[in-house]
Amino acid sequence: MKVLFLVDGSLKIGMGHIYRSLNLANEIKEKNEIVFITREKLSFKNFKNYYKTFFVEKNNILKEKNIIEKINPDLIIIDKLKERNITINNIKKICENILLIDYTKKNIRNKFHGVTILYPETGFSSQNENNFKYTIINKEFSKNTTTKTEKIAKKIIVLQGGSDTYCFTPKIIDSFNLIKKDLEISVIIGESFNCWKKLEQSISNSNKKIKILHNVKNLSKILKKYDLAITAGGMTSLELACVGIPSIIICGEKFEIETAKLLEKNKCGINLGFGKNISSKQISEYVNNLILNFEQRKQMKKQGQKLIDGDGVIRMKEVIKKLKPNYT
């Protein structure tokens, strides 16, 4: 079967769509031909190393339509429809089997009749179930879960996505100066990080020792070493829940807020809302409280591992089998 992914990732919209799609593609690639179409150069750079990939300029609807027709896929998987050039109705004229991922409007299936829709990042399935059973993360995270909760948290990891578009990391580093405890702090920086000058300034002014981890390869194995995390509200917040790391979530985009709210509702994350609206002092207060609250961290670990078991990609594979019964 020929499977076409339509997906983008960039500094602005984040990298989660890239990693999620690659994880799903890797799961189903054995007996299927995988092809990608993307409109972002950063996505193209990531996908082309693994699968046949076409680059289409934004708003070039005709080119995207022509490439899809030429590929003639048996199944099209769309991650984040809102950003696409071509409309869902035009896609349906080319391929009847469509799997739509990450469209957050719960009633959207009424608009796109006959399209299978799943919401793995925001906890909604096509049946409007409020759960995360379709969350697509690397299966390595479920193999590297934490088993112990320290009485007082000392090891803190900071992750604000691959790019930290709004440069929240320096503000987080500044917040640690207000905490009068010995802390071991690590900051993970992605290859797209664009806030080096401010970060270096915050580190030089810090009264804590800050360790920088750049372009981390084995994230799941690294995360399990930490007591708590300060993260963005994208895919990383879901990976942390799976590993069992209590997290304080600072959001940069609207879609992150929805994820953060659901993680807080399920008692495995603390949602601080938009980072632009919160001060270093406020961050420090939340961090300090969580450091000292053993029972809360223990409960957050338990709830996170219960909520996201790491098998979402396998369940997605089963959804694809139902869409295309001849798929093996």
Domain residue ranges in the chain: 2-138+311-323, 140-307
> Any idea what the Cα angle at residue 270 is, between residues 268 and 274, rounded to 5°?
135
Output the pLDDT for position 124. 44
Q: Are 240 and 304 in contact (CB under 8 A)?
A: yes
Q: What is the pLDDT of residues 80-117, one digit of tens each?
A: 756 566 777 888 889 988 888 865 554 444 455 555 66
Distance of CA 158 to the CA centre of its chain: 15
Q: Please compute the mean of the pLDDT values over residues 27-44 and round it to a whole number.
A: 91
Output the pLDDT for position 255. 78
Architecture of domain 140-307: 3-Layer(aba) Sandwich (3.40)
Output the pLDDT for position 162. 75
3-state secondary structure of 99: strand
Residue reference for tokens 């409960």: 299
Q: What is the pLDDT of residues 42-79, one digit of tens each?
A: 788 889 999 999 999 988 989 999 999 999 999 999 88
Output the pLDDT for position 256. 87
In the sheet that holds 210-214, the strands lie side by side as 210-214, 184-189, 155-159, 228-231, 247-251, 269-274
Q: What is the pLDDT of residues 196-253, one digit of tens each?
A: 999 999 999 999 999 999 878 889 999 999 999 999 998 899 999 999 999 999 999 8
Q: Quote the mean pLDDT of the chain.
A: 87
Q: What is the pLDDT of residues 161-206, one digit of tens each?
A: 878 889 999 999 999 999 999 999 999 998 778 899 999 999 999 9
* Amino acid occupying residue 322: K
How many residues in total does the chain contain? 328
Q: What is the CATH number of domain 2-138+311-323?
A: 3.40.50.11190
DSSP 101-142: E----TTGGGTSTT-EEEBTTTTB-TT--BS-TT----THHH
Structure tokens at 26: 């890797």
Q: Which pLDDT band holds residue 127 (cuts at 50, 70, 90)?
A: very low
Residue reference for tokens 């961050």: 283
2-138+311-323 against 140-307: fold identical: yes
